[in-house]
C-alpha cells in the first residue's frame, strides 16, 4: 500500500460512485491522500490502512429505527463500542438496529463494508441524519472509504465540517457514546 495524493491518474475500471467522491472533493478544493488496497470488510482489516494513512478510520454504521422511518449514519472511532439502547435514548428514537444492505444501497449508494460519510452525497432527499461521536471531531485527520472498500482516503476533519458536509446539505449531530 502506497499513499497517493488525490484521485487516481487512471480511473478506468473504477466504479462511478467512487469517481463521484473524487469529483466532489476536487470541486470543493479539498486536499486528500488515497491508498488502494484489498477489500477492507472489517475494522481489523483497516488497522494497516490506519497506519499507512496516519489517520484513524472511523467506524461508519447505518442505523434505523424499528419502523424504518428514520435513518442515521453514525461515525465513531474504530475501536469504540456502543450500545444501541444508549444511543436510542440519547437521540430520542425508538429502538435502533442496523439498516439492511438494501437500505444502504437505496439511500447512500453503498454496500456493506463500504459505508462512508461520503455516501451522504447520494442522499439527495436528506433521509439520513449524520451522528458523530464527539471524539471523532477532535482529531485533525480521519480516514474513510470513497464509497467503495478497495480504497481509503485521508481527509482533514475541518474540511469535512466546513466544506464537504455543507456542500452535501448535511449537518452533524454530536453524540457522546459511552462504552458502558
Flag whether 46 is in a domain: yes
Flag whether 175 is in a domain: no
Q: What per-residue confidence (pLDDT) applies to 177?
A: 84
Flag whether 78 is in a domain: yes
Contact yes or no for 42/74 (Cβ under 8 A): no
Which stretches within 66-164 are classed as H helix? Answer: 84-91, 101-108, 157-159
Flag whether 178 is in a domain: no
Residue 66 cell numbers, joined: 424499528
Query: Phi/psi of residue 31, each to 5°?
Result: -85, 140
End-to-end CA distance of the chain: 36
Q: Is 157 exposed, middle or buried (0-12, 13-18, 19+ CB in 10 A)?
A: middle
Flag whether 130 is in a domain: yes
Task: Look at residues 25, 33, 24 and name the one whose alpha carbon lies nearest to residue 6.
Answer: 33
Summarize pLDDT for 104-143 with one digit per residue, the tens: 999 999 998 899 999 999 999 999 999 999 999 998 999 9
Q: What per-residue confidence (pLDDT) applies to 41?
A: 66
Domain that holds residue 163: 4-170
CATH code at position 102: 3.90.960.10
Question: How many domains does one find in the chain?
Answer: 1
Contact yes or no for 35/52 (Cβ under 8 A): yes
Contact yes or no for 60/23 (Cβ under 8 A): no
Flag whether 102 is in a domain: yes
The strand pairing partners of 130, in sequence order, are: 73, 172
Residue 77 cell numbers, joined: 472511532
According to DSSP, residue 129 is labeled E
Q: What per-residue confidence (pLDDT) applies to 116?
A: 94
Q: 55 pLDDT exceeds 90?
A: no
Q: 43 pLDDT exceeds 70?
A: no
Task: Tell me the pLDDT of the chain averaged across its residues.
Answer: 91
Overall average pLDDT of the 159-165 stretch:
98
Q: What per-residue confidence (pLDDT) applies to 179?
A: 61
The strand pairing partners of 75, in sequence order, are: 60, 132
Flag whether 108 is in a domain: yes
Flag whether 8 is in a domain: yes
Amino acid at each position: 500500500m502506497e499513499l497517493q495524493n488525490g484521485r487516481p491518474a487512471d480511473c478506468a475500471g473504477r466504479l462511478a460512485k467512487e469517481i463521484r467522491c473524487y469529483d466532489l472533493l476536487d470541486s470543493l478544493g479539498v486536499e486528500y491522500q488515497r491508498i488502494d488496497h484489498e477489500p477492507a470488510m472489517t475494522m481489523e482489516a483497516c488497522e494497516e490502512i490506519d497506519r499507512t494513512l496516519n489517520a484513524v478510520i472511523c467506524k461508519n454504521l447505518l442505523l434505523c429505527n424499528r419502523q424504518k422511518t428514520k435513518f442515521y449514519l453514525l461515525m465513531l472511532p474504530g475501536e469504540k463500542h456502543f450500545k444501541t439502547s444508549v444511543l436510542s435514548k440519547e437521540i430520542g428514537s425508538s429502538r435502533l438496529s442496523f439498516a439492511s444492505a438494501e437500505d444502504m444501497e437505496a439511500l447512500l449508494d453503498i454496500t456493506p463494508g463500504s459505508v462512508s460519510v461520503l455516501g451522504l452525497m447520494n442522499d439527495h432527499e436528506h433521509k439520513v441524519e449524520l451522528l458523530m461521536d464527539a471524539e471523532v471531531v477532535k482529531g485533525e485527520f480521519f480516514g474513510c472509504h470513497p464509497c467503495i472498500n478497495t480504497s481509503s482516503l485521508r481527509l482533514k476533519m475541518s474540511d469535512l465540517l466546513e466544506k464537504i458536509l455543507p456542500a452535501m446539505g448535511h449537518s452533524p449531530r454530536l453524540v457522546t457514546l459511552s462504552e458502558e
